[in-house]
Chains A and B, each alone.
Chain A
Amino acid sequence: MTQVIARKEFIEMLRDGRVRWTGGIVLVLLAVAFLTGWTRHHELTRQHSAAQEATRKHWLTQGKKNPHSAAHYGIYAFKPKLPLAVLDTGTEPYTGVAVWLEAHKQNEFKYRPAQDATILARFGELTAAAVMQLLIPLLIIIMTFGAFAGEREQGTLRQLLSLGVPARRLALGKALGLLAGLGVYLVPAVLLGAGAILFASGTVESAASAPRAIWLALAYLLYFFTFAAIGLSVSAWARTPRLSLIALIGFWIVNCLVAPRAAVDLVKAVRPTPTAFDFAQNIAADLAGGDGHATPAARAKQLEARVLKQYGVSKLEDLPVSFAGISLQDGEEHGNAVFDRRYGELWDAFDSQNQMRNWIAIAAPLLAIRPVSMGMSGTDTAHHRDFATAAETYRRDLNRRMNDELRDHGKGKDFGHLVGDDFWSQVPDFHYIAPDASWAVRNHAVPFLLLLTSAVAAGILCYRTASRLRIE
């Protein structure tokens, strides 16, 4: 009997013009989003690898120079993209694409792609993720709002129940029919998406991101399930299809529109971040000794005394090494401590803003699926931070190598000490490997659990409302 109900529901859904239209549009949009996502991904990946090669080449062929001049010349680090970024560009348009790794200071990422776009960018990017997060729930609403309420209004619900069909069976049948109907639209979409990713990045890279893709798919299934269960419950509860539709669209609006933006301003008010001006002022003050450490002049004195003692000599001229190299490295280390603290605070503030926003996901599942989707696609703030940290570690190593060279071989010449291309090639290339899927999942454990919780809660709600089905 469940089968009969499911089949009826499925066929009705296929014949329903509203579902056909919405479903068709959603599919077309998904296809377009995949296609443009793929082209853009392809182009950006090409540019990134070309740029990474070029910056290395510039470094290797910079000619005869003092190591410290080379550190000032520095290199650029360009953030690579994971294959799944085809689906979800995430925060990429709003994080800079590159960072300059130079002597003395940790720089910020520059050039946010959204700055090179029109105001349309702020209406949202048409990515596969946006279609799945915003439009597929709408499709589900259109599929479900009349499931019970429609039969109730037409009076067929009374007939059905009078025939002795158990309400739970009816609900199960309808749910299965809905699932099949949704499958008609989602299965081609999933195949399309998998194809797009495979094409964008080749099989090896795609295979590496398979665990990420599986987690991603799981998260979206939970998200869709939540909407389907809520849709069925509201339809079972509402007296008329009109009321059911209005309630569901209301929920959709809160979920997709109101909650995310409201959360942004709320978390900003609760956990403010410094302005770029204050941030720079604080770092400058810390570097000048405002953080309780000695001032630069006093620090230089201490360093001098320490080095003289270490080498057992009484004058800098008697040192077997170049003091300039030691002093530069000391400056680097002082700076590094300051950068660690200030940038650490900033990233932590971003992180706690994001965590806070996660908890609001209890009321709006979009706030849970969005970070998970970005996290699995490698386009969230955590991945950005991971790359920034890797780049900064490389910068510090690079500077240390330059300063050590100056210290060990620059005796007597200091800034007149020149080295050539064979020395530059001793510095390893910057090579970044993105963290694996389990790291990304751990990062988003809270939204994942919230997705699961809301799916379970919506399932229970659906079961309970459907088993106490009112006829009128």
Chain B
Amino acid sequence: MLRNIIRYDLKNLLAERSIQAVAALFALLLAYGLWNGIRWNEHRRTTIESVRKEQQQRLAALPGRIAQAPSQGLPAFLDPRMPSVAGGREATPYLILPPQPLSGLSVGQSDLYPFYLRASTQSASNILSADEIENPDNLLIGRFDLSFVLVYLFPLLILALSYNILSAEKEQGTLALTLSQPVSLGRLMLGKIASRAAVLLALAIGASAAAAAATGAPVLSVPFALWLAVLLVYAAFWFALAVFVNLLGKGSAVNAVLLSAVWVSLTMVVPSALHMLAGSLYPVPSRVEMIQAMREASREATAKGSTLMARYLEDHPELTPGGSSTVNAADAASRSLAVQEETERLMAPVLGRFDRQLEGQRAILQRLQYLSPAVLAQGAMNSLAGSGPERFEHFRTQTVGFLGRWRAHFARLVLAARMLTPADVERLPRFVYADEDPGAVVARVALSWLGIFIPSAVIVLLSWMRMSRTRIVSA
């Protein structure tokens, strides 16, 4: 029987002009999102390629330049043999956050954070503040990627096809007729939902698979399977909601108003209200204050000047040059190392305050995100595409670690008053990004999935309980 309902309803749906239009529109939106995702992925790939190329050329030429330097009589700040010059500019590698297989499916936060940084002996906070160039208007509005289509527009199309599954039949008077056949109301609705879901999900899944394939991601992979799982449960939530509202027994127009109101609340009002709440409870101080603190700190450190040197060496016994060579405390390069270290020490509590407040906001989001399936779905899709804040945080931590190693490497040379030799170029620290633990991503996505699944199940249950009380003829 169920199969008959689905078959009949599907035939009916596919023959109807308005449904054809909705399906065609959805296909068009998906295709546009897909195309944008592919372009975004391509943009990232080519940028990383040209960054790598520049680095390769520079580092390949460096040993030769170092070898020639003694005969050129360059001033110290241009001499590539100087550790400060090499570590600050000439030998610096790029720290690259490579795109993930599914990165073309959700741009997420990845247009907001840099995906490559140039290392140097400068302070880490300075290096991390580098930005990608983008028109602020574009950032404000956001991108038309596949996840946008799926999180915002997909529910609307679901609601457009199912806001009146029961009310329309009731208004036409066909519901009583249908139910006089040996079929239950539950089964009828299930069949109608299944046929609609088949049309929309076929398109959504097809577009996701096409996007994954076009950006070179394996379709048979855990992340992609999770992507589909999120997509399915998110669709289930909206279908369940449509069923429930239909069972309230109101007219089609009322259903449409109610469902639109829920959609506006869950995709727009709740997220921005949560954003406001998180921001008010844990206000992140403006960076204006940080800049001020940084200036103060570097002034203070500079004023202490050479007295810092002794403490610096106390803190870094491994850097104390052995043998006969002594550190020249007046030496500009070594003093600036100490000043920089002191500045960072003074800045640590200020920067910590930013991190703590942001941590507080994230903690609130962790708890309150369950209020909106749209937030959950977007978060899960970002996680799977590697465009969520977690992956950038991961990258940032590794960057800070690497920059510490990089600076220590050159500090050792500075304090030993050593110049770089051509062979030293080979021995420079290298950065390789180690991706997040896939288990952590799966766990995060699983939580989001459950967060959508549980309310969906509750709505289905409520609908089930309501079903027996639903009037099948218009009052």
Contacts and interface: CB of A to CB of B under 8 A. Distances in A.
A and B associate in one complex: yes
Interface of A: 18, 22, 25, 29, 32, 36, 39-40, 43-44, 47-48, 50-51, 54-55, 58, 76, 78, 90-91, 93-98, 108, 110-126, 130, 134-135, 138, 142, 145-146, 240-242, 245-246, 249, 253, 257-258, 260-265, 267-269, 273-279, 281, 346, 349-350, 353-354, 357, 371, 380-381, 384
Contacts of A93: 140
Contacts of A130: 272
B140 A47 contact: no
Given A119-B382, A257-B153, A281 B109 contact: no
B133 A276 contact: yes
A118 B278 contact: yes
Given A118-B362, A122-B142, A261-B143, A245 B129 contact: no
14 contacts: A39-B280, A43-B286, A47-B286, A96-B131, A111-B287, A114-B112, A120-B271, A120-B272, A135-B264, A142-B257, A261-B143, A268-B135, A276-B133, A371-B137
Contacts of A122: 108-109, 142, 378
Contacts of B378: 119, 122-123
B287 A245 contact: no
B129 A123 contact: no
Given A261-B143, A384-B136, A126 B292 contact: no
B112 A98 contact: no
Interface stretch (B47-55, B317-325, B338-346): B47-55
Contacts of A47: 285-286, 288-289
B400 interface: no
A292 to B, nearest CB: 22
B137 A354 contact: yes
Contacts of B285: 47
A249 B256 contact: yes
Interface string B97-132: 000000000001100111010000000000001111
A103 to B, nearest CB: 14
Contacts of A275: 43, 47, 132-133
B443 interface: no
Nearest to B164: A242
Contacts of B272: 120, 123-126, 130
Given A47-B288, A277-B47, A123 B375 contact: yes
B47 A36 contact: no
Contacts of B271: 120, 123-124
Interface in B133-156: 133-144, 148, 152-153, 156
A98 B287 CA distance: 8
Contact of B291 (A76, A242, A350): A76
B141 A241 contact: no
B273 interface: yes
With a 10 A CB-CB cut-off, give which of B137, B275, B279 has the most chain A CB atoms: B137
A113 B112 contact: no
Given A47-B289, A94-B140, A113-B286, A249 B295 contact: no
B421 interface: no
Contacts of A114: 112, 139
Given A32-B276, A111-B287, A120-B272, A91 B140 contact: yes
Q: Is the interface of B mostly helix, strand, loop or mixed?
A: helix
A346 B148 CA distance: 28
B253 A241 contact: yes
Most buried by A among B135, B164, B256, B296: B135
Given A97-B288, A124-B268, A135-B264, A265 B36 contact: yes
Interface in B18-45: 29, 32, 36, 39, 43
Contacts of A263: 141
Q: How large, as a class, is the contact surface on chain B?
A: 35 or more
A116 B393 CA distance: 12
Contacts of A120: 271-272, 274-275, 278, 365, 375
B451 interface: no
A346 B292 CA distance: 29
B256 A246 contact: yes
Contacts of B137: 91, 264, 350, 353-354, 357, 371, 380-381
Contacts of A253: 153, 156
B267 A123 contact: yes
Contacts of A76: 291, 295
A118 B112 contact: no
B256 A91 contact: no
A118 B275 contact: yes
B334 interface: no
Interface string B337-368: 00000000000000000100010011001000
Contacts of B112: 94, 112, 114-115
Interface in B243-297: 251-253, 256-257, 260-261, 264, 267-269, 271-276, 278-280, 283-292, 295-296
A185 to B, nearest CB: 16
Contact of B275 (A25, A29, A121): A121
Find the residue from B260, B280, B354 having the highest chain A CB count within 10 A: B260
B388 interface: yes
A438 to B, nearest CB: 22
Contacts of B83: none
B299 interface: yes
A345 B135 CA distance: 13
B379 A249 contact: no
A95 B135 CA distance: 9
Contacts of B134: 94, 273
Contacts of B261: 22
Give the 7 A-B CB pairs with smallest separation, nearest first: A123-B271, A111-B287, A120-B275, A91-B136, A126-B272, A94-B139, A261-B144
B389 interface: yes
Nearest to A114: B112
A114 B267 CA distance: 19
Contacts of B116: 277
A29 B264 CA distance: 13
Contacts of B274: 120
A58 B299 contact: yes
B389 A262 contact: no
B59 interface: no
A119 B388 contact: yes
Interface string B71-103: 000000000000000000000000000000000
B276 A245 contact: no
A273 B133 contact: yes
A108 B136 contact: no
B109 A119 contact: yes
A269 B40 CA distance: 10
Contact of A126 (B51, B276, B283): B276
Contacts of B279: 36, 40, 117
A163 B32 CA distance: 52
Contacts of B460: none
Given A48-B288, A134-B268, A273 B276 contact: no
A376 B391 CA distance: 38
A354 B130 contact: no
Interface string B400-421: 0000000000000000000000
A93 B288 CA distance: 13
Given A50-B292, A261-B144, A277-B50, A95 B136 contact: yes
A42 B307 CA distance: 42
A48 B285 CA distance: 12
Contacts of A117: 275, 279, 284, 358, 361
